[in-house]
Chain A
Amino acid sequence: MTGTDTTTARPAPALGGAPARAALALGDDALVLAQRLGEWAGGAPVLEEEVALANIALDLLGQARVLLSLTGDEDELAFLREERAFLNLQLVEQPNGDFAHTIARQLYFSTYQHLLYAELAAGDGPLAGLAAKAVKEVAYHRDHAEQWTLRLGDGTDESHHRMGTACDALWRYTGEPFQPVDGLGTDTAAFEPAWLDSVTAVLTRAGLTVPDGPRTGAWAAGAGRQGLHTEHFGRMLAEMQHLHRSHPGATW
């Protein structure tokens, strides 16, 4: 997608090389999580959450569109890349599961995204402008996830159990966000302690045990940034891309 497209008069992408790849990685995170949250529409536990989950999905989709557009055509990138070319974290492609799994995924991801965007917004790299706008949205996503973690963890016995199970199940995907990303212009490993402190504080307040499984190495997950995904992802893409791919060259 970084090659010169001579068939249309499309403006050249703003980014190339490693920064483009970094923007694509962040754009893919947002796109894939938006797609997952979109699956909730019409199925949320309460009407207010229909609104909230769709609202978060829309924010993420907006971020994805800006980020993908920095590196090429948003629709070509979203609909015509194969699974191996997507650079999103494995965390965001995990299935919705029950509401607790969705909330655990939101807690882990939005805490990371908030720290990352705050850092990018404070710098002067090519993503500073986008990050400055998105960081406000992401602060709201993080608050939403934290509030629900507290409600579910410190709610009923059943919700406590479900929230604990969800936090454990997704823990193995939480090391990957702190691997270095070429071209991002920021050291992601540097805010891993802040992430861990924050998540630990929320889980503790919610009366939950901080999971003790591995976050990196051996059996922990984490090669999404290299285009290696979990088995869930191919099916998700098949559904997302099917219609677009069925009508090559069409505009919508």
Chain B
Amino acid sequence: MTARAPGTDAADAAAQAAREAVFDAAVAADERIEPRDWMPEAYRATLVRQIAQHAHSEIIGMQPEANWITRAPSLRRKAILMAKVQDEAGHGLYLYSAAETLGVSRDELLDKLHTGRQKYSSIFNYPTLTWADVGAIGWLVDGAAITNQVPLCRCSYGPYARAMVRVCKEESFHQRQGYEALLALSRGTEAQHAMAQDAVNRWWWPSLMMFGPPDDESAHSARSMAWKIKRHSNDELRQRFVDIAAPQAEALGLTLPDPDLKWNEERGHHDFGPIDWTEFRDVLKGNGPCNEQRITQRRRAHEDGTWVREAAAAHARKHTAQPGEAQA
């Protein structure tokens, strides 16, 4: 600490106001905020929380699909699924890198995931019970993720927006493949069709929950929209997704498990039934079908890998030239 000269407080306040004005003007003009730019601490914290949660979702999200890699019913489907799970690890890497531009480390964020201080998407706490679940995840879960993420390509924070551009391209590809896998089942044998319908029945409502709580209960929405981190409300995006998915279900020859789902001519949208928010809150609190299993597996992979990471670090230390050594 250095002693402050008289009058510095006023100067600081003026400088602070000037920085805020520059930031607000940049956001208003749809300019990108970059890592070296000044930003409000709350903006930084919100982004760290959101990007970390997004990265964690990619990593935990590998588990329900990896569950079927060794059992995929054809070599083509096995290859597609392996590539998809590999891409998810890659998306995790981009997103942790984006978060690191905000002054946190990947290790620190993983530690928060492992100790339950940061969350991941509620959807990955549901089990994959049949092969058709892999198709349903591709179609519905990736579909919902894309609906959420495409607007994030215009997010005010540059590194996050750029990561989203890459992620969305790959996700769209996977979503088409998931749809196509489900179509093959729907048009296949009776048993395959039934498998596809059962999977859609189980994944539909959890997919709608991916958009988060209704607008009047969403704690962070208003501020995130003001900062242009978010561009649309949870309910708006959810409606957009239902409007896209309903005709797709029809084309698939499958039904969605909602007796209230119907086109509303007047609104120009589909009406749909009420979401079970009690279930949503239960899953978020850690009481979904797979919360315990997912986090335990993640922790175990991390703990079992400790000696490998330590070996890599020790090896790097031994074989990195010390300062001055290279010239010797």
Interface residues of A (CB under 8 A from B): 31, 34-35, 38-39, 41-51, 54-55, 57-58, 61-62, 64-65, 68, 74-75, 78-79, 98-99, 150-152, 154-156, 158-159, 162, 239-240, 242-244, 247, 249-252
Nearest B-chain residue to A98, judged by Cβ: B304
CA gap between A62 and B85 in the complex, in Å: 16
CA gap between A39 and B70 in the complex, in Å: 7
A residues within 8 A CB of B312? 46, 151, 155
Query: How would you classify the secondary structure of chain A's contact residues: helix, strand, loop or mixed?
Result: helix
- A75 and B308 in contact, given A55-B86, A58-B83 (Cβ under 8 angstroms): no
CA gap between A239 and B73 in the complex, in Å: 11
Nearest A-chain residue to B310, judged by Cβ: A156
CB–CB A151/B89 < 8 A = no
Which residue among A41, A46, A48 has the maximum number of chain B CB atoms within 10 Å of its CB?
A: A41
Nearest A-chain residue to B302, judged by Cβ: A45
Number of interface residues of B (CB under 8 A): 49
Counting CB contacts under 8 A, is B8 at the interface? no
CB–CB B318/A252 < 8 A = no
Which residue among B76, B78, B191, B306 has the maximum number of chain A CB atoms within 10 Å of its CB?
A: B78
Counting CB contacts under 8 A, is B74 at the interface? yes
CB–CB A61/B78 < 8 A = yes
A residues within 8 A CB of B82? 34, 38, 41, 54, 57-58, 61
CB–CB A247/B70 < 8 A = no
For the complex formed, measure the closest distance between the CB of B43 and the CB atoms of chain A, giving whole angstroms: 27
CB–CB A158/B311 < 8 A = yes
CB–CB A41/B78 < 8 A = no
Q: Which of B70, B297, B304, B318 contacts A154 (CB 8 A)?
A: B318
Within 8 A of A (CB), among B292-328: 297, 300-302, 304-312, 314-315, 318-319
A residues within 8 A CB of B297? 42-43
With A47-B92, A50-B86, A155-B311 given, name 10 new contacts (CB 8 A).
A42-B63, A44-B301, A47-B96, A55-B86, A57-B82, A159-B307, A240-B70, A243-B72, A244-B74, A250-B189
CB–CB B191/A247 < 8 A = yes
CA gap between A64 and B309 in the complex, in Å: 31
CA gap between A98 and B131 in the complex, in Å: 28
Q: Which 8 A-B pairs have the closest CB atoms?
A: A45-B305, A155-B311, A159-B311, A54-B86, A50-B89, A41-B66, A45-B308, A42-B66
B residues within 8 A CB of A99? 305, 308
A residues within 8 A CB of B210? none
Nearest B-chain residue to A160, judged by Cβ: B311
CA gap between A64 and B83 in the complex, in Å: 16
Q: Which of B73, B189, B311 contacts A243 (CB 8 A)?
A: B73
A residues within 8 A CB of B306? 45
CB–CB B314/A155 < 8 A = yes
Nearest B-chain residue to A48, judged by Cβ: B93
Counting CB contacts under 8 A, is B77 at the interface? yes
A residues within 8 A CB of B83? 54, 58
A residues within 8 A CB of B246? none
Q: Which of B59, B73, B319 contacts A47 (CB 8 A)?
A: B59
Counting CB contacts under 8 A, is B49 at the interface? no
Nearest A-chain residue to B106, judged by Cβ: A47
Give me 19 A-to-B residue pairs in the complex whose CB atoms sit less than 8 angstroms apart, sorted by A's number: A42-B85, A42-B297, A43-B301, A49-B308, A51-B86, A61-B82, A154-B318, A155-B310, A156-B307, A156-B310, A158-B307, A240-B70, A243-B71, A243-B72, A243-B131, A247-B73, A249-B189, A250-B189, A252-B73
Nearest A-chain residue to B69, judged by Cβ: A38
Counting CB contacts under 8 A, is B221 at the interface? no
Nearest B-chain residue to A41, judged by Cβ: B66
Q: Which of B85, B302, B308 contacts A41 (CB 8 A)?
A: B85
- B39-68 toward A: CB 8 Å interface, digit per residue (1/0)? 000000000000000000001001100100
For the complex formed, measure the closest distance between the CB of A17 and the CB atoms of chain B, giving whole angstroms: 24
CA gap between A99 and B74 in the complex, in Å: 28
CB–CB A51/B93 < 8 A = yes
CA gap between A50 and B58 in the complex, in Å: 12
CA gap between A54 and B70 in the complex, in Å: 12
B residues within 8 A CB of A242? 71
Counting CB contacts under 8 A, is B75 at the interface? yes
B residues within 8 A CB of A251? 184, 188
CA gap between A75 and B79 in the complex, in Å: 12
CB–CB A151/B315 < 8 A = yes
CA gap between A4 and B63 in the complex, in Å: 41
Within 8 A of A (CB), among B227-267: none
Counting CB contacts under 8 A, is B90 at the interface? yes
CB–CB B69/A41 < 8 A = yes
B residues within 8 A CB of A78? 75
For the complex formed, measure the closest distance between the CB of A37 and the CB atoms of chain B, giving whole angstroms: 9
A residues within 8 A CB of B191? 247, 250
Q: Which of A46, A57, A239 contacts B308 (CB 8 A)?
A: A46
Q: Which of A43, A151, A239 contacts B311 (CB 8 A)?
A: A151
CA gap between A32 and B306 in the complex, in Å: 28
Within 8 A of A (CB), among B2-54: none
CB–CB B192/A250 < 8 A = yes
CA gap between A51 and B89 in the complex, in Å: 6
Nearest A-chain residue to B187, judged by Cβ: A251
